[in-house]
Amino acid sequence: MERPSRSSVERSTPPLTGLPAGFRFGASTASYQIEGGVMADGRGPSVWDTFCAEPGRVRDGSSGAEACDHYHRWAEDVALMRGLGLDGYRFSIAWPRVLPAGSGEVNAAGLAFYDRLVDALLEAGVAPMATLFHWDLPQPLEDGGGWLSRATAERFAEYAAVVGEALGDRVARWVTVNEPNVVTMLGYATGVHAPGRTLMFDALPAAHHLLLGHGLAVQALRAAGAKAVGCANNHTPVVAGTDSQADRDAADLYDTLWNRLFAEPMLLGSYPAGFGDLMPGPVADDLATIAAPLDFYGVNYYNPTRVAAPGTDLTPIGQTPSGDLPFVLVELDGYDRTGFGWAVVPDGLRDMLLQLRERYGDRLPSVTITESGCAYDDPVEADGIHDDRRIAYLDGHLRAVEEAVSAGVDVDGYYTWSLLDNFEWAEGYTQRFGLVHVDYATQRRTPKDSYDWYARVIRARR
């Protein structure tokens, strides 16, 4: 029986008729954010275990040690997916759960967990999309240099071969590396995320090795018989703080570092001008590996970014280190904001998709929105969790995809972030992105109104 819903959620909305046949409606999660069980069944330590143990790193002092306890409650979560009628579920595989030391002996119990999960998803009619790396690098590899070391990319290829051999007969769609720009910029350049290094522009070798790891993993997955391999790059449309030349130059540099530095090696086989000279070699040979053709291009979108030159009078946002970078992220005025403080701009997703098509033309494969969602801390009331703002966000962004499709962009799916409220990295448990509310004290799952709304959207499409 369907749960009762508040009348505002039942309101009639125009159907999504502009999406192509076969369009996939999905939801996404990540291993460290939901699994818990960090000491269970032979899993090794990750950089996030280490990072969370350092005082002051995570806003509320928490960690992913228990998170949503998905490692033990996966069957309940698959039932929630079945209830939604999801076409697909994007999850990530914890590298330290499969290879506790990052390489060498396989942890059979850890691999068996994902084997059971994949079988359950298929039984529920939900197509699995597996991500190989969603930030939880095995700590022993970080101790050896992490993504600053070429050896980590080589170990990643070995790991991809192990997982591809075990699951490739049932997992049709694969993502190699999630958001290499975020790992580089926040993990190695500014220290906001694990492993917490503050190398600034000296972090660029991490970008190259993440991209090389992607290319080597594509090879390994294809050798294991993978049917469709893609990526998941975080993209944001970048606008200048003002019309001044200084602000336009700052915005152009940020756009290059955030968007082009990671898309162009994958899609064009080259770095933006000047950046190839800053990367560890052999760059030309590596770019040939990085640019292996993809079956789909994953886009994670949350909000646009406004950028100004240092010394601006505009209001800074985020955790940009003062005085160390030639740009400042500033407030984008005139829009509603999520609980995270991010501007809600559905048109930004449309514009981003159009920009990708304009920049890369026929080198851009079919696009999958691999993440898009919003954080709101809607109260738990006696008659449910009425997250109308999340419904409005999702509806607006799906309609932005419709507009991009009508303008000629090939988009084959939308995976909302996230199925469950979860551990939100350096923000701990202070931000809730889920269609399903999680009471972290009891692990009780409560579908929000957005869960019912998304289920109706999916049913209507069928």
What amino acid positions are annotated as catalytic residues? 179, 371
User: What share of residues in the chain are helix, strand, coil (percent, to 5)?
Assistant: 40, 15, 45
Spatial contact of 435 and 447, defined as CB atoms under 8 Å apart: yes
Residues at the binding site are 33, 134, 178, 302, 417, 424-425
Residues at the binding site for substrate are 33, 134, 178, 302, 417, 424-425
Of 403, 378, 425, the residue nearest 47 (C-alpha): 425
Q: Give CA 455 to chain center in angstroms.
A: 22
Element (H, E) at 49: helix 47-52
Rounded Cα distance, 330 and 130, in Å: 35
Dihedral sign (CA 310, 311, 313, 317): positive
Tokens linked to 3: 């749960």
Tokens linked to 138: 């095995």
Return the bridge partners of 308, or none. Answer: 328
Rounded Cα distance, 65 and 52, in Å: 9
Spatial contact of 263 and 360, defined as CB atoms under 8 Å apart: yes
Tokens linked to 424: 């939100």
